[in-house]
Amino acid sequence: MSIINKEYLNPVLLMSKVALITGVTGQDGAYLSEFLLKKGYVVHGLKRRASLFNTDRIDHIYQDPHVEDRNFILHYGDMTDSTNLIRLIQEIQPDEIYNLAAMSHVKVSFEVPEYTANADGIGTLRILDAVRLLGLEKKTRIYQASTSELYGKVQEVPQSETTPFYPRSPYAVAKMYAYWITVNYREAYDMFACNGILFNHESPIRGETFVTRKITRATARIAMGLQEKFYLGNLDAQRDWGHAKDYVRMMWLILQADQPEDWVIATGKTTPVREFVRMSFDKVGIELEFKGEGVNETAVVKSCSNPKYQLPVGKEVLAVDPKYFRPTEVDLLIGDPTKAKEKLGWQIEYELEDLIEDMVESDLRLMEKEQYLKDGGYRIMNYFE
């Protein structure tokens, strides 16, 4: 019996809206799942097969397959497998698809450009075409996870829905294809397909190799004596950083609008990476001083007002490693969310200070766990990338 038939036995679930989230195990997939479940949706998630469980971010909402009338259901799948996507969409008959799955790391996309094009670019086509092939154009609304990386090399500041694109990485080029194929299917087949052009959004469950999480994790580890120092690339890059919790709400609102359109979602403020580092260490009472320039730039402890942490003044905690530079960089992103503010009522609950506090506090708690394991003689994770 198909998944859908089973759910139809329960009249409450029968009345619920059904969503399919690709990339359900990722940062946004986890927050969006929580959000939609609270709204009463039945949520289906596409999950890649991995050699270990890869569900940390959604373990708290996971439901055992043997539970009757589940409203959170995971399916194996992959953005590179058309037949898998067609079969799942046919079975699930979703009212809304949130296409969040992607090889989402800009630097890594230079290492795996072809795969990135396949998963992030053609993967989006596979979803759109599956919906069309199955005759669901009038039923299924589609959200495409577009990105501020499309703007790339600065053409205009701030960036809005009308700013020209100039992608600067295989990731951004793949996402540019995804953006335009979404627009094209909307216009050609009258589908409710929308791009959310989201600027950087972070959280305590952000992947550890993105710069914000790398910084807050290092802050906690260095403060607690679990790590001596850490390395970053370009400290001058500026990003418009918001909290992922605020941003997933907008994904949903974009699909509830009267018309399918494309939307910029951003805070409208930008901050250099160096300043994010300073603010993060500030949260644990460590004041930093930046010295030197370019590849020789370092940050040392200027003062430590928190008696819990024993960091000597002058200790070097950060150095630049050119291995984190990108062949082509995006220097400055700052979004203009006027359209979303006026038409969707977009407003943020988390300022940058709140975001950093949330992330640092969470990483301190995580590192307390590591400290406990270390004290107990267990090996702790030693991977700082």
Annotated catalytic residues are 147, 149, 171
Tell me which residue of 313, 311, 310, 304 sits closest to 283, measured CA to CA.
Answer: 304
Smallest gap, in angstroms, from Cβ of residue 46 to ligand NDP? Answer: 6
- The residue whose two tokens read 């053609």 is 122
Question: Could you tell me which stretch among 43-51, 131-139, 250-258, 335-343 binds ligand NDP (CB under 6 A)?
Answer: 43-51
Are residues 201 and 241 in contact, defined by beta-carbon separation less than 8 angstroms?
A: yes
Please state, in angstroms and rounded to a whole number, the distance separating the CA atoms of residues 308 and 279.
18
Site string for ligand NDP, 162-201 (x = CB under 6 A): ------------------------------------x-xx
Of positions 207, 268, 272, 285, contacts ligand NDP by CB under 6 A: 207
Among ligand NDP, ligand GDR, none, the one that 25 touches (CB under a kind-dependent 5 to 8 A) is: ligand NDP
Residue nearest ligand GDR (C-beta atom) = 237
Among ligand GDR, ligand NDP, none, the one that 79 touches (CB under a kind-dependent 5 to 8 A) is: ligand NDP
Smallest gap, in angstroms, from Cβ of residue 118 to ligand NDP? Answer: 8
Please state, in angstroms and rounded to a whole number, the distance separating the CA atoms of residues 30 and 33.
5
Smallest gap, in angstroms, from Cβ of residue 11 to ligand NDP? Answer: 32
Peptide bond into 312 cis (omega under 30): no
Per CB under 6 A, residues contacting ligand GDR are: 104, 106-107, 147-149, 199-200, 209-212, 214, 232-234, 237, 239, 273, 324, 326, 329-330
Burial class (CB in 10 A: 0-12, 13-18, 19+), 19: buried
Residue environment code for 216-227, b if the CB has 16+ CB neighbours within 10 A, otherwise e: bbbbbbbbbebb
Which sign, positive or negative, has the C-alpha torsion 219, 205, 63, 69? positive
The residues binding ligand NDP (CB under 6 A) are: 22-23, 25-29, 46, 48, 50, 54, 78-80, 100-104, 119, 145, 147, 198, 200-201, 207
